[in-house]
Structure 1
Amino acid sequence: MGSRAAEQRQEARQLAARLSAEGVRNVALTWVDNAGIARVKTVPAERLAAAAERGVGMSPVFDVFTSDDAITASDHLGGPDGDLRLFPDLERVTTLAAQPGWAWAPADRYDQLGLPHPACQRQFARRMTERAAAAGLELRMGFETEWVVTRAPAGHPAATGADEPLDYPCTGPAYGMTRVVELSDYLRDVTEALSVQGIDVLQLHPEYAPGQFEVTTAPGDPVRAADDVVLVRETIRAVSVRHGLRASFAPSVVAGQVGNGCHLHLSLYRDGMSLHRTPDAQWGLAPDASAFLGGILGALPALLALGCPSPASYLRLQPSHWAGVYQCWGVENREAALRLITGAPDDPDGGHAEVKTFDAAANPYLAVGAVIAAGLHGIESATRLPEPQTGDPGVLGVRERARRGIVRLPATLTEAADRLEKSAPLYEAMGEVLHGAVLAVRRAEEAHFAESEDDAIAAATRWRW
């Protein structure tokens, strides 16, 4: 143990020296709170070794921060007492291409005695990944990140409010090449910055809403996928600032318009072989893959409280908007909450699934950890997938949906939080402290926006993510 600690100290010193030689002066250590906000402590580059050895102090109260920086409380967390230590993951230290002189690292949180903090979301994601590995399963995950870009307002860069005019720098049609032409320098710089930082970009294209774009990155292990999506968002934000633009990842930028999703893609492997390409199996799914997806589908009402954690999320979740608001699955069906993607026939590793409901207000570590927990519960309980749905459930009558067994997912945060509160598998996986902190934040968000109109909710949350 002492030898390993010495090796880590030496590694941290060498890394700090390399960063300093590259002109890096500060390192941002981030964690994501239960409201989905990326919070940060920074250290000078020369202090990175000390941070890796002893951690950086931070209050446990951040687990009960809401999206508007108010503070609530759970049975275990809240108030001014206590302290935690942030430990940077040295393997993920990244020099930031769009922020000269800066580097970034995700952090794990421990108590003063060196024990894992029970509400640390990143360690929750790691525990669930290890639980899957113990069952012989390898998971690969990746996110699609959608954002809306506008020109930064004159004067105060953080100006916001219901009357704030949104000045879109591109006016071309949805999915149109015109938008790429209008913002070609900006999009080139986004792609270049991500590439320099080791993020493998698969696609980048205009989306449906005004000023909206999407970037898809290559899958990796679940914790890395969550790290990557944090880095992707903050890189896009930094590139936007350098171009005099602002980026919003909020679920609903303008009430009534198509919002920003953050779809989660996942695939399962055993012994290096895809479980989505099993010969002669129904839908190509091996039994464990079918049960895993069945577990996710069954848990979706509760998972919404984690993947769609803001009242603004439910402004986005509208029928017939490709947001997946009905609890059903389908093969290449973009209206299904859980979409099975078959992949190219000649790709032996092709085929995966997509959870379409999630958005970027979600803490990505909670999202990947909870999805794994739900899938493993599906295997443990031998869950079976129902028949897949074709077409748009939103255009079916109420009776026809009932005949097919298609039900609407929670339409409010209150409904979703109620389902999370009653979910025994997610309570067991998350543990009492993390589960309770998440619910406390959800209830506080509900109460804060209880009397707010849709426009006011969108305006209040537009620049929080």
Structure 2
Amino acid sequence: MAISPTPDSRAILTQLREDNIRFVRVVWCDNGNIIRGKAIHLDALARQLDEGTCGVGLSAAQQAIPVVADAVAPGSGLGPVGEVWLVPDWDTLQRLPYAPGQARMLGEMVKDAQPWPWCSRQFLKRMVQRAAAQGLTVQAAFEPEFYLLRRGEEGFLPTDQTPFAATLAMDQHQKVVMAIADALAAQGIAVEQYYPESGPGQHEISVRYTQALAAADQQIVYRETVKAVAHQHGLVASFVPKLFDHQAGSGCHLHLSLWDGDRNLIPDGSGGLSAIAQAFAAGLLHHLPALMAITTPSPNSYRRLRPHCWSGAFCAWGMDNREVALRVPSNRGLPSPTHLELKTVDGAANPYLALGSAIAAGLDGIAQGYALPAPVQVDPGALSEADRRDRGIAPLPQSLTVALAALEQDDLLLEALGAPLAQTHLAVRRAELAAMAGMTLEAEVDLLCDRY
């Protein structure tokens, strides 16, 4: 764990000076999924290194701030008393192509020279280590969708009215999309595909999978980059799950694979899932109602999770079925399949908490030997309730209230998070639920658009 200056940090500092970097942002993501940071001037960073330390002070209460207001969530277990040290991980250092003179490092929270239990990045590290103890490496990628918007007198307006994958939309947004792709590449992120999504002004730029911790880090960098580059082009980019009532919502699907060294453990060699992949998938489904309090953690999330919307509203899995929560994508040839896709994840989710909790759920499936039910190869929403009951297809929570109650009863996920982090996450999301109760969609969008 990088919680102190590295042997190479002074050499890096010299290079930063030569590159005319003046501020280094130390960034974290809180329980409300707001990306926050404090910037250290390079001269101050040099003095810190001379003193044998590195980082910025942070009120412990920052991890208890909901998305709705800069006020501590009731019942969070945190308050105005207490200080933690936000320590940069030098391995994550990147110069910011959209902010000349500034660089970024992702931070971890430390208190009394020990990892702080409320740190979401360290939580994901613990889950990665839990997988490693079973001889498994998890690789992952987030697949975020976002809207490009303009601010109008009547609120946020989409930048076009084109349908899915329209080349006209590619032409209309060529400059901003190319700038986003170039900025991601400049920060070491491998861009794979781009296309306009189903909603007007909605886009998807997919990136390559990587090790689990790097995948969550990558999602932070992605969100920051897309929003910053869009702003430079006079636009607003937003990952809010549901912006427009009658248009497509934005997901942030989570792709997962299990590895033993350089061997992908997902395929069985004949076009199906291996035994370990089946158990991992069964664990995801078993814990999914509770997991949604972490992966779809906003009241706004549940405006998106509806049948016939390709959002995964049912607790089921299927091969190439976009209406179930857990899709298994096939490849053109063997090896196939090579990964799982959890669809009930969106832009309101802290990526460290979402990925770490998904790993914990899947590993529990392996440990308990959960049996994976039969695949669902039809649209569950087209079946009668009786047919769904006969097939064991359950609807997923249709509100954050139900998901939070499920999480409170899920001992496995609570244990994985640890009591302090679990208490604070629940309190933050309950505070958001209370503050947003009765809000219209327009009011939610006005509140959330710049936050996600």
TM-score range, shorter chain: over 0.9
C-alpha contact 1:311 1:412 (8 A) present in aligned 2 = yes
Q: Partner letter of residue 255 of structure 2? A: H
Matched, 1:294 2:309: no
* Structure 1: tracts of 5 or more residues without a match: 154-162
Q: Which amino acid aligns with 1:98?
A: Y
Which of 17, 23, 27 pairs up with 1:26?
23
Is 2:76–2:425's contact at 8 Å kept on the other side of the alignment? no
Distance 2:182 2:277 in 1: 36
Distance 1:185 1:450 in 2: 39
Deviation at residue 5 of structure 1 after TM alignment: 9.4
Contact 1:254–1:459 (CA<8 Å) still a contact in 2? no
Aligned equivalents of 2:263 and 2:93: distance in 1?
31
Alignment correspondent of 2:90: 90
State yes or no: 1:186 paired with 2:176. yes
Tell me, yes or no, if the aligned pair for 2:272 and 2:337 is still in contact at 8 Å: no
Opposite residue 364 of structure 1, the aligned amino acid is P
CA distance in 2, matches of 1:208, 1:25: 41
Residue in 1 aligned with 2:212? 222
Deviation at 1:404, TM superposition (A): 1.1
Match of residue 307 from structure 2: 319
Q: Given that residues 269 and 336 in structure 2 are in contact (C-alpha distance below 8 angstroms), is that contact kept between their aligned partners in structure 1?
A: no
1:65 aligns with 2:65: yes
* Distance in 2 separating the partners of 1:343 and 1:47: 51
Name the count of aligned residue pairs.
449
SS in 2 for 1:224: helix
How far residue 35 of structure 1 moved from its aligned partner, in angstroms, is 0.9
User: What is the match of residue 253 of structure 2?
Assistant: 263
Question: Alpha-carbon deviation of 1:172?
Answer: 2.4
For 2:329, the equivalent position in structure 1 comes to 341
1:343–1:352 Cα contact (<8 Å) kept: no
Which string of whole-angstrom CA distances, capped at 9 and with x for unpartnered residues, describes residues 374-417 of structure 1?
01111110011100001211121111111111111100000000
Distance 2:115 2:61 in 1: 16
Structure 1 residue 74: Cα displacement:
5.8
Q: CA deviation at 1:166?
A: 2.8
Partner of 1:390: 377
1:455 aligns with 2:442: yes
2:445 equivalent to 1:446: no
The alpha carbon displacement at 1:76 in A equals 6.0
Helix, strand or coil for the counterpart of 1:53?
Answer: coil
Question: Which residue of structure 2 lines up, in the alignment, with residue 355 of structure 1?
Answer: 342
Matches within 5 A, 1:399-414: 399-414=386-401
TM-score, reference length from structure 1: 0.92
Q: CA deviation at 1:77?
A: 2.8
Q: Distance in 2 between matches of 1:349 and 1:196?
A: 32
Q: Distance in 2 between matches of 1:55 and 1:391?
A: 52
4+ runs deviating over 6 angstroms: none
C-alpha displacement of 1:9 = 4.7
**Hey, what does 1:157 align to over in structure 2?**
none
Indicate the residue corresponding to 2:413 in structure 1: 426
Q: CA deviation at 1:344?
A: 3.2
- Alignment partner of 1:284: what SS? coil
Corresponding residue of 2:127: 128
Counterpart contact for 1:199–1:228, Cα < 8 Å: yes
Identity %: 38
What does residue 297 of structure 2 align with? 309
Q: Is the 8 A contact 1:252 1:462 kept in 2?
A: no
| Cα deviation code 1:317-360 (max 9, x no counterpart) | 111111001000001111110011122314x4861000001001
Instruction: Give the direction of change, closer, same or farther, for the CA distance of 1:417–1:16 in structure 2 (3 Å limit).
Output: same
Map 1:163-182; keep pairs closer than 5 Å: 164-182=154-172
* Range that drifts further, 80-89 or 246-255: 246-255
Residues 74 and 369 from structure 1, CA distance in 2 versus in 1: closer, same or farther, beyond 3 angstroms?
farther
Which structure 2 residue ranges, 5 or more long, are not aligned? none
User: In structure 1, how many angstroms separate the alpha carbons of the residues matched to 2:264 and 2:18?
Assistant: 43
